[in-house]
Structure 1
Amino acid sequence: MEYIESISGAEEIGITLVRAPEEGIAAALIGIGRPGLRVEAVFAMTVSAEAARISVVEGKRARRVTASEPLLALVRESRARSARSVAGPWWRMSMRIDEFALVETEYDYGEEPFPGDQLFRPEAYRDDIAAYPRPRLPVWLAAYIGHADRQSRGRRSAALAARADRLHGVRQRLLGEGFPELPRLWARWAALAAAHVAVGSEDGPRIVPDTGWYEAARNASSGSSLYVLPGGRAVLSGGVWNAPPLNAAYNGGIELPNLYAGAPDWVTNAALNPRAAVGLLSFCYWWDGERWYRGESPSVRQCGAALPPIWSAGSVLETIVRLLSAQPSLAQRAGVARLMSAVERGAVGAASLVAAFGSDADIDGAYRQFASAGLVPAEVAGSAEVPVDGNGSRRNGPLG
């Protein structure tokens, strides 16, 4: 039996593990399958909770298998022995066995969020940390067990906070830094969303009526949202997964920055990125109809990992051109430039989409992104399937 062992999140810590339990686990998993089949197993464990997912794979078909008590006892022993290592006990262990009985084992120390079916209640991790103290936790896990709704901002709490800020002279600060005003920001977000849809990319930003979403492809733990509110207002918020202030707060005991310092009472949970609900919001900006403001959020440049490349029309154009081709032609570049001009005028038509993306692209999908953003002229939108709100009225977006 040959082993290939890798450590997730602890490659450079110098971990030494005793092999005996792992050999027994591998032997048990090989016995579950039969020669020529693959077995994939993932075990999640704390001192008070555990979960196992075992699949026997044959071709494209997978069969789930229940973990036996003797097998789980071996997994517990493996974790207990790993607690003697510098990194402490692992949170998840994966073991894959190929058709030739080659075993690959990986230990997960939580550098990335656990999948939902292997994420326990916060108390399970608190129990484990009490049994096995650790000098530092991954930021997401530290927030998960200790955020205590500190970033939540309901309607009542927002009104009280705004009143208290006025009373104590706490003022919002101009964002500055040449950040695009809302109409341009919204148009660029929509253009990037349409381009990703046009080429069939699952990554990149997206637009639904009144809302822009973005999850960074390279790190799914960073992302942002742009909510457009009545009266030409908007809230742009999100989180960078490894933001220093979050680490300082959850691992160093320092107060979280007041992202809502001086914020108006309409900056509430309804307009905030869902990361606020789990304590992982690292920035919040708001547009009052004329300017962008912030509280104690960092500069926009420090939040770039969580935002699509909307800094300038040139950055959007280059991103779209690279999506279309590794070696774009002059005609492609010109087509995208003309589309960007139409986008910023709020006058996107089907012909400009074909000229920019090509006739083989998903033109209908790209069109729907622009229609959702309110960037299709009314006379064109009238003959197309444009999203409507609950009252049957067309959504026009911040451009009109």
Structure 2
Amino acid sequence: MSQDNSTAESPDVGFRMAATIATAESDITADHVVDQVVDELLALIPDGFDRLEAAVAMTVTDETAQVIVSDGERAAQVPLSRRAVELLREARHLAATAAEGPWWRLLAAVSTTGPARVEYDYGTEPFPDHQLFPPQAYLADLLEYPRERVPVWLAAYIGHGDRQVRTPSAAFAAAHADTPAVPAGEGLPPLPVLWARWAVISAAFVAVKSPLGPRVTSALGWFEGRTRSGSTLHRLPHGKAVLSGGIWNAPELDAVYNGGASMPEFYRGAPDWVADPVLSPRAANGLMSFCYWWDGNAWYRGESPDANVVQDALPGVWNDDAVYDVLTQVFDGNASSWLTALIAAAETGTVTRTLLSRSLVGADIDLDSAYFQLILAGVAE
């Protein structure tokens, strides 16, 4: 349930000036104003309810709020009062003097029977889609309240400028510029082996019905890690492939968006088949931090880091031991003695249903879906 209280009007500059003057005269602090916000939120709780939770996102030009009241059994949505909005704007303005700068979201939980809890969101994690404003709102806020540093994901959101986009036309033109690529470095196994290991790990996560972990189709592997790093592996005809993705808060991107460095030339020396349709979605958002391509014989890269630096963005495909460790973790340490044979069979494309059933053990295993992952990957008989 969401309630959007966005306002189309610009912030009241006169109000902000008046608040500043009042602050100077009476030494009002942000904490004092937040206490008033809590009182205002308590006043919003209707009869019959005893608690309220609010998530308010705000910039100098926009605001949106989700306010839910409940009694343990029922829940209802209520609008945020205009007085609460005014107090929140004042509190945010006063908080601008803090080292972190003004918060982007305020999360509050108040109750008629206990103490209030207020938390401030400075963008360490991406905001929920329903509380993410257009880039212009954050740019306006940064003009009003300059910051030394903005979270990498937010800096990319407002300033990527399509610098990681590579259309097929641009890829064709760049591929004939005679710019050399370099080997991808240590760590990445040959494509057939990497693909087989990816598929086995995918099958294991599917077997235990986990929403996490990697997945495969006949030509695509994708992975999103717990640390928000992730990657895609696109297989192309004639034994080629593109592996790209991003490390969460990659130092290279931090240097670009917060330090004014040039965007790395991830596609330097890349062939014309390295283009948007086979790149990680992170490229469209300016959050890709590596791109490698397999030409049928070896992995190559432009100005991406050495492959051993991006391990967090891939499932455990680096060697057989890494695959084995992931599989045992998926099954809570209940490792079957057949796991080693399963990994070897996947790498030679000879997995059978019987071998899989002996390898993946435990209660409520979805063997059929797991085997289908291996069929799609082409590593099952």
Q: Which residue of 1 aligns with 2:38?
A: 26
Counterpart-to-counterpart distance in 1, 2:120 and 2:248: 21
Q: Which residue of 2 aligns with 1:172?
A: 181
SS in 1 for 2:55: strand
1:41-120 alignment to 2 at 5 Å?
Answer: 41-59=54-72, 61-98=74-111, 100-120=113-133
Return the match for 1:225 from 232, 244, 248: 232
Deviations 1:73-105 (A, max 9, x none): 111111111112222111111001257332111
Q: Does 1:135 align with 2:139?
A: no
Q: Which residue of 1 aligns with 2:370?
A: 366
Q: Does 1:286 align with 2:293?
A: yes
Counterpart-to-counterpart distance in 2, 1:141 and 1:80: 20
Displacement of 1:136 in angstroms is: 1.0
Q: Does 1:351 align with 2:354?
A: yes
1:151-162 alignment to 2 at 5 Å?
Answer: 151-162=164-175
Counterpart-to-counterpart distance in 2, 1:157 and 1:263: 11
SS in 2 for 1:342: helix
Counterpart-to-counterpart distance in 2, 1:309 and 1:269: 26
Amino acid at match of 1:370: L
Counterpart-to-counterpart distance in 2, 1:17 and 1:117: 30
Q: Which residue of 1 aligns with 2:6?
A: none
Distance 1:259 1:27, change over 3 A: same
Q: Which residue of 2 aligns with 1:384?
A: none
Q: Does 1:341 align with 2:344?
A: yes
Distance 1:313 1:138, change over 3 A: same
Displacement of 1:61 in angstroms is: 4.7
| Unaligned runs of at least 5 residues, structure 2 | 1-27
Q: Does 1:202 align with 2:206?
A: no
Amino acid at match of 1:238: G
Amino acid at match of 1:130: L
Q: Which residue of 2 aligns with 1:122?
A: 135
Which one is further off, 365-374 or 265-274?
Answer: 365-374
Amino acid at match of 2:279: L
Q: Which residue of 1 aligns with 2:15?
A: none
Deviations 1:41-74 (A, max 9, x none): 1110110111111112343653222212112111
Distance 1:239 1:61, change over 3 A: farther
| Unaligned runs of at least 5 residues, structure 1 | 1-15, 378-400
Which one is further off, 368-377 or 95-104?
Answer: 95-104
Displacement of 1:17 in angstroms is: 5.5
Tell me if the contact between 2:42 and 2:112 (Cα under 8 Å) persists in the aligned partners.
no
Tell me if the contact between 1:95 and 1:103 (Cα under 8 Å) persists in the aligned partners.
yes
Displacement of 1:36 in angstroms is: 6.0
Tell me if the contact between 1:30 and 1:101 (Cα under 8 Å) persists in the aligned partners.
no
Tell me if the contact between 1:36 and 1:100 (Cα under 8 Å) persists in the aligned partners.
no
Amino acid at match of 1:21: V
Runs of at least 4 residues off by over 6 Å: none
Tell me if the contact between 1:35 and 1:99 (Cα under 8 Å) persists in the aligned partners.
no
Q: Does 1:314 align with 2:315?
A: no
Tell me if the contact between 1:35 and 1:100 (Cα under 8 Å) persists in the aligned partners.
no
Q: Which residue of 2 aligns with 1:302?
A: 309
SS in 2 for 1:96: strand
SS in 2 for 1:334: coil
Displacement of 1:106 in angstroms is: 0.6
Q: Which residue of 2 aligns with 1:6?
A: none
SS in 1 for 2:176: helix
SS in 2 for 1:78: helix
User: What percent identity do the matched residue pairs reach?
Assistant: 45
Return the match for 1:277 from 270, 284, 287: 284
Distance 1:25 1:175, change over 3 A: same
Distance 1:373 1:78, change over 3 A: same
SS in 1 for 2:30: coil
Q: Which residue of 2 aligns with 1:250?
A: 257
Counterpart-to-counterpart distance in 2, 1:349 and 1:17: 68
Q: Does 1:185 align with 2:189?
A: no
